[in-house]
Amino acid sequence: MKNQKAREEFEKFLKKEKHRITPERFEVMDYALGYDGHFGADELYVKMKSEHSNISRATVYNTLELLAQCDLLSKRNFGEHKSRYESNYGRKNHDHLICTNCGAIKEFTNSKIAKIVDEISRELGFEVSGYSFNIFGNCLKSDTCKNKLDTKHNIR
Amino acid sequence: MKNQKAREEFEKFLKKEKHRITPERFEVMDYALGYDGHFGADELYVKMKSEHSNISRATVYNTLELLAQCDLLSKRNFGEHKSRYESNYGRKNHDHLICTNCGAIKEFTNSKIAKIVDEISRELGFEVSGYSFNIFGNCLKSDTCKNKLDTKHNIR
DNA sequence: TTCAGTGCAAAAACTTTGCAGGAGG
DNA sequence: CCTCCTGCAAAGTTTTTGCACTGAA
């Protein structure tokens, strides 16, 4: 069975939160975890439809939210007029550099960031559940870029 | 004259970018810089309309973009289905803690962040124009909160 | 059996676009 | 006087909601 461990994790989450175990939810999970790179909710819905699923838009949106809640997906916003999701399954945490010129997205990791998050949360009395750290700029090699964004991009 | 220095800065930017100097642009600037806290583009439009401006939606959206480009405003996204703006005029840079429970937004500054941004950009050959750093969690004092967000909020 | 979840379509929320008229340079 | 900008309304994009039906527990 594909994504067996993810399935178990999702099922555990659904039970804990008293959500029902439905085939549709696992169908969305499989598509989401199988997607290569970042994707929008509607994008995934259209893809599933095009491959003859009879899933509904509402179910896709709802399920992606659940998958993000249980940390199998990350939900991100890079300044576009939509959210992007990406699989966390079998991947390590990372943050993003976004090229505002060509739209390329690069990943990076830096252990100091978690320390800062920790420091600030202690300072301000905050119980942290997560953070987002995006760096915007120009990748200086716009020819090899993919993952185009669709924004003017002065989000900070 | 209100916001005199900001006016001059905006005018300089408009000339440099070969945009026209129009009264509407300064009207939006005045409202934006005078707004207390974060605001959405449509929110500002509605406010201006309610105060008998005859500005158009398109002009508000367009002008806020320009003001963000010339750094008089910051454009932000806290995981909602919209962008928020906030005045930079006479304020120092800061990042945000967002309470996913009550929607409160707290500001913080930490000098290490800029260093990390610098480090990473050098490492990866990126010409940085800006970054966003948001921490999500629970502020543990939901009674004093304002600035409600309208999202389930698992953006990372 | 019960009610959360689903499919569908319509509505909502935010943003962008097309067009005709008006004003900045 | 040439366009860029504006106001207006309409359309576009992404997400949410309402409703009747279905199927998980």
- What's the confidence (pLDDT) of residue A39? 97
Tokens, residue B42: 């449509």
Indicate if CB(B121) is under 7 A from strand D.
no
**Is residue A145 predicted with pLDDT exceeding 60?**
no
- What's the confidence (pLDDT) of residue B61? 98
Nucleotide nearest to B56 in CA–C1' terms: D7
Q: Would you list the domain boundaries of chain B?
A: 1-89, 92-156
| pLDDT band with cut points at 50, 70 and 90 for residue A143 | low
**Is residue A127 predicted with pLDDT exceeding 60?**
yes
- What's the confidence (pLDDT) of residue A144? 52
Q: Please, where are the H alpha helices in chain A?
A: 4-16, 23-34, 41-50, 57-69, 111-124
Token pair 């939810």 in the structure block, residue: A25
Residues in Cβ contact with B115 at an 8 Å cutoff, skipping those fewer than 6 apart: none
Indicate if CB(B153) is under 7 A from strand D.
no
Mean pLDDT of chain A: 91
Tally A–B CB contacts below 8 A.
Answer: 142
CATH topology of domain A92-156: Dna Ligase; domain 1 (3.30.1490)
- What's the confidence (pLDDT) of residue A149? 52
Instruction: Indicate yes or no: CB of B77 within 8 angstroms of CB of A119.
Output: no
- What's the confidence (pLDDT) of residue A123? 93
Instruction: Indicate yes or no: CB of A127 within 8 angstroms of CB of B140.
Output: yes
Q: Per-residue pLDDT averaged across A67-92, rounded?
A: 95
Report the candidate in B107, B105, B104, B99 with the shortest Cα–Cα distance to residue B137: B99
| pLDDT band with cut points at 50, 70 and 90 for residue A109 | very high
Q: For the domain with range B1-89, which CATH number is right: 3.40.50.720, 3.40.630.30, 3.30.420.40, 1.10.10.10?
A: 1.10.10.10
Indicate if CB(A58) is under 7 A from strand C.
yes
Measured CB to CB, residues of chain B less than 8 Å from chain A are 65, 68-69, 74-77, 79, 83, 97, 99-100, 106, 108, 110, 112-113, 116-117, 119-121, 123-141, 152, 154-156
- Kindly report whether the global pTM for this prediction surpasses the value 0.95: no
**Cα atoms in the Cβ-side hemisphere of radius 13 Å centred on A50:** 7
Q: Rounded to an integer, what distance in angstroms lies between the CA atom of residue B14 and that of residue B4?
A: 15
CA distance B1 to chain A (A): 28
- What's the confidence (pLDDT) of residue A135? 95
- What's the confidence (pLDDT) of residue A95? 97
H or E segment and range at residue B32: helix B23-34
**Cα atoms in the Cβ-side hemisphere of radius 13 Å centred on B64:** 27
Token pair 């120009």 in the structure block, residue: A138
Strand A73-76's sheet: what is its strand order? A39-40, A84-87, A73-76
Chain D positions with an atom below 7 A of a protein C-beta are: 4-10, 13-18, 23-25
pLDDT tens, residue order, chain B (156 aa): 789 999 999 999 999 999 999 999 999 999 999 999 999 999 999 999 999 999 999 999 999 999 999 999 999 999 899 999 999 999 999 999 998 888 889 999 999 999 999 999 999 988 999 999 999 998 887 555 544 554 556 777
Name residue B111's amino acid.
S
| pLDDT band with cut points at 50, 70 and 90 for residue A50 | very high
Report the candidate in A77, A85, A50, A66 with the shortest Cα–Cα distance to residue A12: A66
Q: Which residues in chain A have their CB less than 8 angstroms from residue B136's CB?
A: 128-132
**Is residue A148 predicted with pLDDT exceeding 70?**
no
* Integer angstrom CA distances of residue A35 from A29, A30, B41, B46, B79: 10, 9, 33, 40, 22
Smallest CA–CA distance from B107 into chain A, residue = A124
Give the best residue of A132, A143, A151, A153 to mutate against chain B (max B CB count within 10 A).
Answer: A132
Smallest CA–CA distance from A151 into chain B, residue = B65
**Is residue A146 predicted with pLDDT exceeding 60?**
no
Residues in Cβ contact with A2 at an 8 Å cutoff, skipping those fewer than 6 apart: A30, A34
Nucleotide nearest to A81 in CA–C1' terms: D14
| Range in A42-51, A102-111, B53-62 with the lowest mean pLDDT | A102-111
Tokens, residue A58: 């509402």
Q: Which residues in chain B have their CB less than 8 angstroms from residue A75's CB?
A: 79, 154-156
* Integer angstrom CA distances of residue A109 from A91, A137, B24: 12, 17, 44
Q: Rounded to an integer, what distance in angstroms lies between the CA atom of residue B34 and that of residue B7?
A: 13
